[in-house]
Amino acid sequence: MAQRVRCGPAMRKLLLLAVMSTALGCAAGAEPDAEDGTVDGENTGQATSALVNANFRVIGLGGKCVDVGGDAYQAVGSPVFMYPCNGTTAQRLRVVEHGDGTHDVSLRSNLGFCLGVQSGVVSASRAIELQACDMSAPAQRFALDGDSIMVGTQSSGRVARDLVVEVNRGRGKNRTPLVVGLRDVDPSEDFRFESTSFAALFPTSGFRMIMSRGDLDSALAASHWGSVIEVARDTTIRIDDAIERELREGVTLRSNRKGLNPGSEIYRANGELGAAFVAVGNDVRVTGLRFRGPSTTEGDTAPKVIGIRGEDPARRLLVDHNEFSAWTDTGVLLKGSYDSLEICHETLTPPPQNTRVVANYFHDNVRDGAGYGVASIRGGNPLIDGNTFQRNRHAIAADARGHTSYTAKFNLVTSGNSYCNWGGLNCNKEHDFDVHGNGEDGVGGMAGHSFEIRSNTFMSPRDRFIYVRGTPCNTVRVRDNVFFRVSPEQVRSWTFKSKADDGHQEFLNNVTVDGHPSQVVGDFDGDGVQDDFMGTGTAWYYRAGRSTEWRLLNRSPEKTEQLTFGDFDADGRTDVRMVDAQGRTQTSWGGSSPWDTSVRTIPWVPGGPITPIEPAIGTFSAELTREPTHAP
């Protein structure tokens, strides 16, 4: 049994200053709290953890708070919604952690109602409502990882990681209800729990704040399902050894890289072979961090070092909103166990895409002979979705083995890819998306199993964007991509080989465009600072504060010129509008929600005067610019 430290006023001050809950031993609270009337929960027996039973306000989309209504409105079946934060008891949720070691919680209103999924059945699109508390009800169980509110048991008796609470359709309007949705890690699912008593209190006893390599190692050694290891803000943790640190089942490793916050950094300075982290269990999440490797040298002598390695394609692994740079081998590698370089299994069904690499930024991974942002080998099959790539030797690569696959969609390869080989000669030798062949020098012969390359935007000054260097055992689909040509002199072709004669290849709707996408300026994340926006024809990207790298905002094919902009729901975020083929006004809230027709529809004719359909409120600018798209 771990010792328990009482978190008196002096200790709280220390916590606020140092935020070192692990070392201080009063982790996530459970301290009696005069202000809240909070009481200690039982101890789970895990080091320094006592169950949380304390009040929080929950801040989400557009900086608004989760609200259950005033006392007169609370009843079984009442809605739970978003409303401007106002400090009232309607926005005070009591987090009550379950005592079964899962770190699952129930969420209670000030009058003692529990948040639960409507009708008691946890499935996507059902509303969150107030219910009579029942600690055994799966529909009233939630799990917290620092930004997601995951919901429901799916057979295992603890909250699985596939469904979350989200703001309905991403709308910013007051009283927009909370619903259950698929976990896409988009802004509508982003919630922050702030203690109403003191700032350093985490919402479960599974959280650990770390500031050093020693903290990291002790937190990993003690980690278990529901552990959330958070690197303190503005911290770099330097790793000078070549140990492959293991991320266990159900563990989250995180910082808060979003908006203008760059996120904290884990820097593996040691250049020996190996991976900084290896996911060894299901439901690992790595989010909001910067992972820096040992070298940005383009030569081929440095040992090959990997940022994060997944080892079983069937395992659920989510890597989102991170930055990976200076990895001499690969930023994120998914490695299966299929070894044959000779045998094709044409009818094989690839493993499910349980490794998801979403909305990360890969740059300056440039070692010759490697230098990959994301790679799939030995039968891996990752989903590579909405990432930004800048100056990597290959943004994405795969080996030639007959089970190896990947899907790459909505990724952006920026115009800033200056990677050159051999002292600046042959700048166009390399390509962005790669699949090896098993022939000589990786060209010709068999080239993996199946590949889908869809709705990506390529802007790099390269000769070849995509090069599948042989014949995949099953299929290659290259469709709906946009290729921007920065100079008419450049040869902007792509090359791949496949079974063209028997339906194993699909090459549809790819577009080559001269020039750059147009940009507009608005505040798409609602932080009060103007951002850049561009719609490339496959997706929308934005640059926070006009200064970060381009980041995925929405998977939507409209170009900038087809859209109008304004803050139509007054939540501080610039919204995006268009008139569809039926003449209906469609709105994307903050530019990040799906199209929504639930507003007044007054047709706007493209090319006509831009008249906001509802008064635009707040700061926005819809000046189209034709300036070249700058590299991040």
Q: Which residues of the chain form contacts with Ca ion (CB under 5 A)?
A: 166, 172, 181-182, 184, 523, 525, 527, 529, 531, 567, 569, 571, 573, 575
* Identity of the residue, 67 or 525, whose beta carbon is nearer to Ca ion in the bound complex: 525
- Per-residue three-class SS string for 93-151: EEEEECCCCCCCEEEECCCCCEEEEHHHCCCCCCEEEEECCCCCCHHHCEEECCCCEEE
Closest CB 184 distance from Ca ion, rounded Å: 4
Closest CB 178 distance from Ca ion, rounded Å: 12
Closest CB 523 distance from Ca ion, rounded Å: 4
Task: Characterize the bridge pairing of strands 575-579 and 236-239.
Answer: unpaired
| Rounded (5°) CA angle 423-425-429 | 115
Tokens 């920065």 sit on residue: 486
Contact between residue 292 and residue 325 where contact means Cβ atoms under 8 Å apart? yes
One DSSP character per residue, 314-381 reads TS-EEEES-EEE--SSEEEEEE-S---SS---TTPPPPP--EEEES-EEEEE--TT--EEEEEETT--
Contact between residue 179 and residue 126 where contact means Cβ atoms under 8 Å apart? yes
Continuous segment of H or E residues that includes residue 260: none
* Identity of the residue, 184 or 194, whose beta carbon is nearer to Ca ion in the bound complex: 184
Closest CB 530 distance from Ca ion, rounded Å: 6
Contact between residue 104 and residue 122 where contact means Cβ atoms under 8 Å apart? no
Name the closest residue to Ca ion (Cβ).
Answer: 181
Closest CB 167 distance from Ca ion, rounded Å: 10
Closest CB 573 distance from Ca ion, rounded Å: 4
* Identity of the residue, 380 or 526, whose beta carbon is nearer to Ca ion in the bound complex: 526
CA-based nearest residue to 482, from 549, 531, 428, 432: 432
DSSP state of 536: B
Closest CB 575 distance from Ca ion, rounded Å: 4
* Identity of the residue, 431 or 573, whose beta carbon is nearer to Ca ion in the bound complex: 573
* Identity of the residue, 151 or 384, whose beta carbon is nearer to Ca ion in the bound complex: 151
Task: Characterize the bridge pairing of strands 81-83 and 65-67.
Answer: antiparallel
* Identity of the residue, 497 or 543, whose beta carbon is nearer to Ca ion in the bound complex: 543
* Identity of the residue, 18 or 529, whose beta carbon is nearer to Ca ion in the bound complex: 529
* Identity of the residue, 165 or 366, whose beta carbon is nearer to Ca ion in the bound complex: 165
Residue 367 burial class via C-beta count within 10 angstroms: exposed 0-12, middle 13-18, buried 19 and up: buried
* Identity of the residue, 97 or 567, whose beta carbon is nearer to Ca ion in the bound complex: 567
Closest CB 87 distance from Ca ion, rounded Å: 23
Q: How far out from the chain centre does Cα 353 lie?
A: 16
Closest CB 555 distance from Ca ion, rounded Å: 12
529, amino acid identity: V
CA-based nearest residue to 566, from 588, 543, 582, 581: 588
